[in-house]
Amino acid sequence: MILISLILWYAVAGLAAWISGRWGNAWPRWIALGATIFHLVAVAGLWFWYPAGTGQETWLLQIDLPWIPQLGIHLHLAIDGLSLLLILLCSLLGVMAVAASWRGIDQRVGFFHFNLLWMLAALVGVFLALDLFLFYFFWEMMLVPLYFLIGIWGHERRLYATLKFFLFTQAGGLLMLVGILGLYVVHGQDTGTFTFNYLELLGTSMPPTVAMLLMLGFFAAFAVKLPVVPLHTWLPDAHTEAPTAGSVVLAGLVLKAGAYGFLRLLIPLFPEAADRIAPLAMVLGVVGLLYGALQAFGQTDLKRLVAYTSVSHMGFVLLGLFAGTPLAMQGAVVVMITHGISTGSLFILAGSLYERLKTRDMARMGGLWSVVPRLGGATMVFALASLGLPGLGNFVGEFLVLAGVYQVSPPLAIVAAVGLVTAAVYALSMMQRVFFGKEAEAWHVPDLDWREGAMMVVLIALIVAIGLYPQPVLNTAQPALDALQQTMVHSVPVELGLEARDPGLGIGSRSEAWRQGP
């Protein structure tokens, strides 16, 4: 019941926050803050209890209850080191999203926190679901709260951004549903058992063409959510128009759902098909990290600049996942965690600036360091993290990805390394245009208050801690990555400069490794 409670806690708290809104705006805020803090403490306690790296068990906890047994649908939830890290990130950023909205949201406050908490509940469900029907249910459930968060509390072009976001993600989700149903039918015809159970679907025998078509349905959904260039165009608009909490959840968590889908579903379920498209996926990752960085440099809207940095960082994640080496996959997981912290923090700071200046136009800024030095100092830390400064968390992940990619494709690793240079260009340019240089207007605004300062202290401490000692993150994810590594079948074409990789342990051992329980 622990796993069910991790989802229900957010759902019940969201309903309580909505209902309490009739008695004033303070009640929903305090209910949401208390619920997210309690969830963070509970998940952190589970993390400390989890014997990371000390055993061979893939799954820490599982629960499997019949839901619609006639169709082979179960309430099957499980948690391992990978999902534990992402749920912990979800809890942390949930607290920050509520705190960041304390003053900025003053209309329909109860309904706002209802949508925010239900968004977190859906994300936790995605990270726990081991029944593909249940996974799809939570995957689609994410859309509705985020639709309202942007559409009601967003900025001037919020309706356009909401519609674009919804169409892109809904189209990808429908293609994944086709892939899920196809896998359900193929497995049923092959074994006589029709089920959506992820652990039973592993190792399903099917012709290569069928596997490729089904895999592409999953790939489309995860590529849109990550996002992969050229399916990224919804992201800058959604980020720019979303309220601060929406941007934090979108950048810090929703994008991670796409990466998690690649890791949890696509590669284990379709290892041969995933291996065939690995060279293309890696090239798309490199294109994304360079394109996102160059686009970020060209922006004048502060939130749009930060949005494009997400496209760049997620390029590193895609590159690491499909490189398939232990170092690259470890790096991809670290980038997922540190990107959530650093980019979520940049969106919080961008929102704080907007609350003070009522503009996101960097041409109207400049010289703000002397006006808001604490805000400028916090922004400097996360700008340096974004460009991959050694000693901060992002550097660890990006270095591991590049080291792992170099083992299979030195040319792609070298090109990807240019992304570190382009990141420095947009990060330092942002600092120059916003906080240094000539003062465009005479701003007289307050600096970070105690609430905002406390948030930044926590987030800075975390990004520095991971940068200096990433081992807890690596140890927690390692059993899950070891099991995933056994799914990798490696036959990559030489025309892209990719070296042959270890052939792995085959389908039978892959299925057995991922079925290990506590």
**What pLDDT is recorded for position 412?**
92
Q: Which residue has the tokens 């590594």?
A: 485
pTM of the prediction? Answer: 0.90
| Digit-coded pLDDT (tens) for 317-363 | 999 999 988 999 999 999 999 999 999 999 999 999 999 888 888 98
**What pLDDT is recorded for position 510?**
33
Integer Cα distance of 226 and 168 in angstroms: 12
Integer Cα distance of 383 and 370 in angstroms: 18
* Nearest alpha-carbon partner for 110 in 166, 162, 161, 152: 152
**What pLDDT is recorded for position 335?**
94
Integer Cα distance of 235 and 237 in angstroms: 5
Residue 390 DSSP label:
T
How many other C-beta atoms can be found within 10 angstroms of the C-beta atom of residue 421? Answer: 12
Residues (pLDDT < 70) of the chain are: 50-57, 487-518
**What pLDDT is recorded for position 488?**
56
Residue 466 neighbours by CB under 8 Å, 6+ apart: 334, 337, 338, 341, 392, 393, 396, 473
**What pLDDT is recorded for position 324?**
85
Cα 310 off chain centre by = 10
> Is residue 338 within 8 Å of residue 393, measured between CB atoms?
yes
Integer Cα distance of 206 and 212 in angstroms: 10
What is the DSSP annotation of 87-147? HHHHHHHHHHHHHHTTTT--SSHHHHHHHHHHHHHHHHHHHHB-BHHHHHHHHHHTHHHHH
Q: Which residue has the tokens 């985020």?
A: 146
**What pLDDT is recorded for position 51?**
57
Integer Cα distance of 79 and 321 in angstroms: 20
**What pLDDT is recorded for position 511?**
33
Structure tokens at 51: 């014997």
Question: Which residues of 318-393 form beta strands (DSSP E)?
Answer: none
What is the DSSP annotation of 212-277? HHHHHHHHHHHHHHTTPTTTTTHHHHHHHHS-HHHHHHIIIIIHHHHHHHIIIIIHHHSHHHHHHH
**What pLDDT is recorded for position 156?**
83
**What pLDDT is recorded for position 505?**
31
Q: What is the CA radius of gyration of the chain?
A: 22
Integer Cα distance of 293 and 52 in angstroms: 35
Q: Which amino acid is at 299?
A: Q
